[in-house]
Amino acid sequence: MDDRPIGVFDSGIGGLTVLKEIMEQLPGEDIVYFGDTARIPYGTRSKETVIKYFFQSVRFLLTKEIKAIVVACNTASALAMEEAQKVFDIPILGVIEPGAKAAVSATKNSVIGVIGTEGTINSQSYQRKIRKMSPSAEIIGIPCPLFVPIVEEGWENTDVAFITAKKYLLELKEHNIDSLVLGCTHYPALRYTINKVLGDKVTMVNPAYETAKAGKIMLKEKKLLSNRLDGGKCDYYVSDDPEKFKRIGGNILRREIASVQKVNIENL
């Protein structure tokens, strides 16, 4: 039994969808959340830069005496996980493996779609993980760079979202996928629009949910679970304006974020 907090980090605010799932599935755990809001988004950055930002985030969380790290950002998980696991001793869980596993379980015709940022899709991380678990699967990855700004604009159920989704998802429809990984923390907000485009036969996989589930299993196996059953608290840190994070983040979490501290992440 271990009452130290879990560290969770993301390129910004989207990772709160993962945090929310962790809070629901592990209500007794304390958490330290870091959102790199001064350098969001990671999705279009080079691997080298994402590795640097990932390592800085880990180094910050390590100052908070955490017992494990959950990487809530798909791009960071896709581009920097292997390097980080070589360098840091602490258990680190990303969203890719749990998301890939759920897609393989969900598919019946072995035709799986993956959508995410440019960085996530081009890294082939989801594709490689899925292929490892299901070598004969046909996997179609499509980067959807407009989805994040559409969600951030609050336009997820508008005609702009629908036409954009039709453009991006056409190829997935033509390939007759039956399961789809929503490989970016913002995308579950678009699930109704995506469903309108792809129809009810496509099962959508939300890696946020799967990652919280996998996190619980990992902590249990490593005997790192807290012995508290609820009452866990969360401390929030960001690299840009705390006020904006409080406002938007509170909406995502559906609970008030009382206090957020700013971190100078660049010097870590």
> Is 107 assigned to a binding site?
no
Residue 162 CB-half CA count within 13 A: 7
> Is 11 assigned to a binding site?
yes
Sheet with 31-35, edge to edge strand ranges: 92-93, 68-71, 6-10, 31-35, 234-238, 260-262
State yes or no: is 234 an active-site residue: no
Contact 35, 76 (CB under 8 A): no
CA 75, CA 44: separation in Å to the nearest integer?
9
User: How big is the site for its own copies, counted in residues (CB under 8 A)?
Assistant: 29
- Residue 248 contacts its own copies per CB under 8 A: no
> Is 75 assigned to a binding site?
yes
Out of 58, 73, 81, 104, the active site residue is 73
Mapping DSSP to helix (H, G, I), strand (E, B) and coil, where does residue 223 land? coil
- Residue 241 contacts its own copies per CB under 8 A: yes
Q: How far is the CB of 27 from its own copies (least distance, A)?
A: 32
Q: How far is the CB of 159 from its own copies (least distance, A)?
A: 6
State yes or no: is 184 an active-site residue: yes
> Is 185 assigned to a binding site?
yes
In terms of Cα–Cα distance, which of 16, 10, 67 is closest to 40?
Answer: 10
Contact 98, 213 (CB under 8 A): yes
- Active-site annotation, residues: 73, 184
Binding annotation: 10-11, 42-43, 74-75, 185-186
Using CB under 8 A as the criterion, which residues of the chain lie in contact with its own copies when the complex forms? 37-40, 44-46, 48-49, 145-146, 148-150, 152-153, 155, 158-160, 163-164, 167, 239-241, 244, 266-267
